[in-house]
Amino acid sequence: MKKHISLVVAAALALAACDAQKVPITGTRVAVVNYENSVKVDAETKDVSVVLPPSELGRGWPQVGGGAEHFMPHLSLKDTIEPYWAVSIGSGNGEGRFLSSPIVNEEVVYALDTTGRVQAFQASSGEVLWESDISPEGRQDAIIGGGLAYGNGKIFVTSPHAEVLALDAKSGQILWRIFTTSPVRAAPTYADGRLYVLTISNQLDILDAESGVRLWEHAGITEHAGLLGTASPVVSKGVVVVTYSSGEIFALKSENGHQLWTETLSSTRRPDSLSSLSHIRALPVIDQNKVIVIGHNHKMAAYDLRRGERLWERNIGGTRTPAVIGGYIFMINSHNEILCLTRDYGQVVWVRKLDSELENPHKVIWEGPIVAGNKLYLVNTRGVLLALDPANGNTLAERQLNASVSLSPVVAHETLYLLTDGGELMAFH
């Protein structure tokens, strides 16, 4: 399945296709998706020069977003990267679907395929170190979503079979497994001995990472319509921020779930049915005590981590996780544009339209960006790996991968890793 965003909502539209006769449909036709381009550079940023902080060696990418704060520094990477190795991880997109990128800890890359098989690969060669089938007994059907996180010698796995598991990182042996109230499509978040798991029914479970014992839980409003995929919780300085598909945002004490503040990221600006969804699918990011949240419904905002004060907001939406580096936010919006905004004020510094089909701009799906080697790296479902200049968005390099990619790359030890829709794990160094 190459279409990256799926609307999970029951509809009777397909029934009309079963009729032998064509029946004229009366009424006003309204576009489901509006492709209007509304993002402009702010006049206040005309003299801004985007300069990244010095790069540093990334020693791992242990969970989705890189870490519990979903923040990664400017990572070192060679100016020109070349294919290093490639290996199949098993089943790719088809009946099942990848929703989370691989993770890297020390010299090992871990990946979950769409049949519930977890594998560990030697980062320097792609050699398989171990594999573990996490499917429940008697269940071999394809899975949609789920993900991995590393913490304290364990690989934690969330499963659409409504399970959470802990595996030994060196052997793949299953150490514990528990059931959740509903399926889990988002990768777990690990921080300070706790595991944070968000189900598709908007329930947040906090588990003891050693035993799997449930410590506390929290729930948002149940939504019956939304996008495929949910955002993993973000954790920083004893606070967990969870974003629900309802558009609700909660900041809770990690220790006991005590509510610190709550907000709702909603917009009345867009009348069309898809854009009106309040679903928050992009990972929230915490940097310098600021929580950056991007909603699908053309709204993004920054909040103070402790007080919940809304620092700024913009009528810009998207479903891709932004890269927050050196006081700037780099993101892909709902119009297949890549933008640079200031972190402190949300002002647009530059905007660039990414290549797409004129008839349907959303048919070509872009993922990313990540920041490494003084470049912004993006991939798309047409098999393009693109490197852009962070200063202005201009193209610096482009590579054809000959394979569709629907997940953002990750970088560790000066190597870029990406997973194709066909289930091939590729390394560039």
The average confidence (pLDDT) of the chain is: 87
CA 244 and chain centroid, separation: 14
- pLDDT for residue 244 is more than 70: yes
Q: How many CB atoms lie within 10 A of CB 180?
A: 22
pLDDT at 273: 45
Cα dihedral sign, 360-364-369-374: negative
- pLDDT for residue 276 is more than 80: no
CA–CA gap between residue 173 and residue 136 (Å, rounded): 15
pLDDT band at 26 (very low <50, low <70, confident <90, very high): very low
Q: Is residue 122 part of a domain?
A: yes
Peptide bond preceding 183 in cis form (omega within 30 of 0): no
What's the CA angle centered on 332, arms 329 and 333, to 5 degrees?
105
- % the chain with pLDDT above 90: 73
Domain range enclosing 154: 40-428
Q: What is the pLDDT of residues 179-236, one digit of tens each?
A: 999 999 999 999 999 999 999 999 999 999 999 999 999 998 876 545 556 899 999 9
Q: Is residue 16 part of a domain?
A: no
CA–CA gap between residue 428 and residue 245 (Å, rounded): 35
- pLDDT for residue 34 is more than 50: no
- pLDDT for residue 30 is more than 60: no
Cα dihedral sign, 202-148-384-333: positive
Q: How many domains does the chain have?
A: 1
Lowest mean pLDDT among 25-39, 49-63, 305-319, 322-336: 25-39
- pLDDT for residue 37 is more than 90: no
pLDDT at 6: 39
Q: Is residue 10 part of a domain?
A: no
pLDDT at 1: 39
Q: Is residue 28 part of a domain?
A: no
pLDDT band at 247 (very low <50, low <70, confident <90, very high): confident
Q: How many CB atoms lie within 10 A of CB 422?
A: 14
CA–CA gap between residue 80 and residue 85 (Å, rounded): 16
Q: Which two tokens stand for residue 249?
A: 């945002």
Q: Under a CB-based contact definition with an 8 Å cutoff, are residues 305 and 251 in contact?
A: yes
Q: Is residue 332 part of a domain?
A: yes
Q: Average pLDDT for residues 282-309, to the nearest whole number?
A: 94
pLDDT at 362: 56
Peptide bond preceding 369 in cis form (omega within 30 of 0): yes
Q: Average pLDDT for residues 337-341, to the nearest whole number?
A: 97
Q: Which of 145, 158, 222 is nearest to 189 (CA)?
A: 158
Q: Which of 184, 110, 99, 95 is nearest to 142 (CA)?
A: 95
pLDDT at 16: 38
- pLDDT for residue 142 is more than 90: no
CA–CA gap between residue 289 and residue 369 (Å, rounded): 22
Q: What is the pLDDT of residues 115-128, one digit of tens each?
A: 889 999 999 999 99
Q: Is residue 408 part of a domain?
A: yes
Q: Average pLDDT for residues 343-351, to the nearest whole number?
A: 98
- With tokens 């070509």, the residue in question is 364
Q: Is 387 helix (H, G, I), strand (E, B) or coil?
A: strand
CA distances from 76 to 150, 404, 412 (A): 22, 26, 9
Q: What is the pLDDT of residues 59-90, one digit of tens each?
A: 999 999 999 999 999 999 999 999 999 999 98
Burial track 106-136 (b if 16+ CB lie within 10 A, e otherwise): eebbbbbbbbbbbbbbebeebeebbebebee
Q: Which of 429, 421, 326 is nearest to 383 (CA)?
A: 421
pLDDT at 357: 60
Q: Is residue 110 part of a domain?
A: yes
Report the CATH number at residue 149: 2.130.10.10
Q: Is residue 3 part of a domain?
A: no
State residue 17 phi and psi, 5-degree precision.
Answer: -70, -15
Q: Which two tokens stand for residue 212?
A: 């799997």
- pLDDT for residue 8 is more than 80: no
